[in-house]
Amino acid sequence: MRSGRTGEGSGCPREASQAEDALSTAAELFRALSSPARIRIIELLKARGALRATDLAQTLGVTVPAVSQHLKILQGAGLVRSRRQGYAVPYAVDATTMDECLAILSRVCDCGCRLVGGDGPAPPPGQPKRESANAFVVVGPEDLDVAGPVMVIAAHPDDVEIQAGGTLAMLADRGCEVVCVLCTSGNRGSHSPADSPVTLASIREAEQQRAARLLGVSKVVFLGYDDGDVCFNLGRLREDLVFQIRSHRPLSVLTHDPVGVKINYDGCYLHPDHRAVAEAATDAALFCSHGRFFYPAQLEAGLAPHRVTALYFFMSPNPDCFVDISSVFDRKLAAIAQHRSQWGNRSDLPDFFGRLAARVGAPVGLERAEAFKVLKRG
């Protein structure tokens, strides 16, 4: 029999109202955190303390108005607070609201992860404890744990060196076999009327080979797609990439982030080849290379299915692995400098790429870093 006393029983209007308020609060928090860019802002503020909108914009590589709009939404949800200091308005994480957000997550999450302190429920016998999915992993040269052989799949010559040159140099130094697959030879990467696509492809392939030798890369493969037209050949490209994976049998694949190229308006991310290669490489490595019924002609030719165990996405908006490349930065820079058709003999290359590497490492306190979103498979 339902009690008629106010404040008691499951039908109490006050309790129902409080529950509704709690649900509304949770929904508002989750809406505010639904954008990778806003999550990245929260991570930066937690790692570095109070920052101005201009500081955040510079680190994220986006405009100040875009950051200001994200901060407005985060403030509206109570996740971020600000206090004017003269002309500056630094922003900081509101610890109380963040704790409330974590408490809400802990109530709805049953995976046993460490959301609100403590170790969480013990894993079943024989199973390893799960780590928080968004925890930063900071890797020094002595701790680099990337299973080899390694394959890098990139759109153009110089993409490899710019995005992962330091990491590849360290892997090669440890004896890891590294194969680079370039989907195009960059045959349209020039505005000079003196160049032609054929001669430019030859020049850029030679530059890539020189850069690869400096890093210690074992082999470079050029697939020969036309620069800028990869998106018109996705089916054939995926088959070609499955062929390369089955031929070289890497355990780890590094490639463009298929999510990052779709949510970032920077021209580098919007390049059609970056978008196309991200999609085709992810499909090939994650779904097709180990599937017996994908491209059976390859199996008939003696290429067995092969399972890639880890993907490392560069150009990611939400990296979770930061590699300290300070010890090999000079080699990375020397490899980039081989691409003279793209960078000429610019004297500011050390400063330019030094700033980029510093920006990548700043959230986790590294002087120079490369960053990846890691997807590992059991």
DSSP labels, 140-193: -GGG----SSEEEEESSTTHHHHHHHHHHHHHHHTT--EEEEEEE--TT----T
Q: Which amino acid belongs to residue 377?
A: R
In this prediction, what percent of the chain has a pLDDT beyond 90? 43
Per-residue pLDDT, 238: 97
Average pLDDT rounded to a whole number, residues 373-378: 84
Per-residue pLDDT, 37: 79
CB-CB contact of 353 with 330 (8 Å): no
Mean pLDDT of all residues belonging to the chain: 80
Per-residue pLDDT, 127: 37
Question: Distance of CA 168 to CAs 290, 316, 324, 357, Å?
Answer: 25, 17, 12, 15
Instruction: Assign 51 to helix, strand or coil.
Output: strand
Checking if the pLDDT of 333 tops 90, the result is: yes
Q: CATH says 137-376 is which class?
A: alpha beta
Checking if the pLDDT of 5 tops 50, the result is: no
Burial of 141 (0-12, 13-18, 19+ CB in 10 A): middle
Q: Would you list the domain boundaries of the chain?
A: 17-108, 137-376
Average pLDDT rounded to a whole number, residues 292-318: 94
Instruction: Assign 296 to helix, strand or coil.
Output: helix
Element holding 137 (H helix, E strand)? strand 137-139
Query: In CATH, which of 3.40.1210.10, 3.40.605.10, 1.10.10.10, 1.10.1530.10 is domain 17-108?
Result: 1.10.10.10
**14, 245, 217, 54: which is closest to 6 by C-alpha?**
14
Average pLDDT rounded to a whole number, residues 225-235: 91
pTM score, two decimals? 0.65
Per-residue pLDDT, 112: 42
- Lowest mean pLDDT of 10-19, 141-150, 270-279, 312-321, name the range: 10-19
Per-residue pLDDT, 370: 94
Half-sphere exposure of 359 (CA within 13 A, CB side): 14
> pLDDT for 94-131, tens place per residue?
877 776 666 665 555 544 443 333 333 333 343 333 33
C-alpha–C-alpha distance, residues 274 and 359, integer Å: 21
Residue 87 banded pLDDT, cuts 50, 70, 90: confident
Better pLDDT: 88 or 265: 88
Residue 142 banded pLDDT, cuts 50, 70, 90: low
**45, 135, 138, 163: which is closest to 366 by C-alpha?**
138
Checking if the pLDDT of 244 tops 90, the result is: yes
Does a cis peptide bond (omega within 30 degrees of 0) precede residue 363? no
> pLDDT for 254-271, tens place per residue?
999 998 655 555 556 678
Per-residue pLDDT, 119: 38
Checking if the pLDDT of 34 tops 80, the result is: no
Checking if the pLDDT of 362 tops 60, the result is: yes
Checking if the pLDDT of 302 tops 90, the result is: yes
Per-residue pLDDT, 143: 66
